[in-house]
């Protein structure tokens, strides 16, 4: 039997960015910074990277026991074979998470991904009440994605999680969001950020943000 110490050293997980495209324009995202730097020549049409290939996927599936799909510059739902990857994981008993925020796929595309692997945990990035999430998640239809999240409950063995980054425009909606999550039987996680300039209109009140300068001083003591 493997004890806790052995399990720690035998752990074998990976987080994947399986595509190089995204339909959103979130201005705190690394993708946005890469494309909007004043000296940048990067655009959505020449953004570096490529979709994960079948051959590379087979290597990953063989080696890792926990596989998470949480894009840093892209959304995993952009990969046309995500459902294939999830089905492969289910067939061999591999676990993991899918983090998504895009709303441009048709409902049947999401349902297929839920159906082929009901063991996966799903996290939906909807920052604020669904009607307002597009204020940060540019091009997102938050109300549609919320319906996708509710639909996921019909297929998944674990409760979908609503991830809510707190910004100025949604900091006063936290209580309502909690009630909405409870009403629909969803998990909800509130995320605090420090990616703000001093005059950033998205910058929330101090209690809802991470102050990078304070963190720096604390670690320097």
pLDDT tens for residues 72-123?
Answer: 889 999 999 999 999 999 999 999 999 999 999 999 999 999 999 999 999 9
Task: Name the pTM for this structure.
Answer: 0.88
Q: Say what the pLDDT of residue 34 is.
A: 80
pLDDT tens for residues 182-211?
Answer: 999 999 999 999 888 889 999 999 999 987
Q: Say what the pLDDT of residue 216 is.
A: 41
State how far Cα 205 lies from the chain centre.
24
pLDDT tens for residues 60-85?
Answer: 999 999 999 998 889 999 999 999 99
Q: Say what the pLDDT of residue 213 is.
A: 55
Alpha helices of the chain — where are they, by DSSP H? Answer: 4-10, 30-36, 54-63, 82-92, 107-116, 142-152, 174-184, 212-219
pLDDT band at 170 (very low <50, low <70, confident <90, very high): very high
What topology does CATH give the domain 12-219? TIM Barrel (3.20.20)
């Amino acid at each position: 039997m493997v004890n806790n110490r052995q399990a720690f050293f035998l752990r074998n997980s990976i987080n994947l960015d399986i595509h190089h495209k995204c339909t959103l324009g979130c201005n705190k995202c690394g993708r946005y910074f890469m494309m909007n730097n004043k000296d940048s020549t990067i655009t959505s049409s020449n953004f570096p990277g490529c979709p994960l290939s079948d051959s590379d996927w087979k290597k990953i599936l063989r080696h890792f026991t926990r596989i998470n799909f949480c894009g840093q510059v892209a959304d995993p739902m952009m990969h046309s074979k995500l459902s294939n990857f999830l089905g492969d994981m289910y067939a061999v008993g591999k676990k993991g998470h899918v983090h998504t925020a895009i709303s441009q796929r048709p409902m049947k595309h999401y349902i297929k991904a839920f159906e082929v692997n009901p063991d996966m945990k799903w996290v939906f990035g909807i920052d604020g009440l669904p009607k307002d999430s597009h204020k940060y998640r540019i091009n997102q239809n938050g109300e549609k994605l919320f319906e996708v999240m509710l639909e996921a409950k019909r297929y998944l063995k674990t409760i979908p999680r609503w991830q809510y980054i707190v910004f100025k425009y949604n900091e006063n909606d936290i209580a309502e969001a909690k009630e909405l999550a409870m009403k629909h039987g969803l998990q909800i996680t509130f995320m605090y950020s420090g990616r703000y300039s001093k005059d950033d209109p998205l910058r929330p009140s101090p209690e809802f943000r991470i102050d990078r300068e304070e963190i720096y001083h604390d670690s320097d003591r």
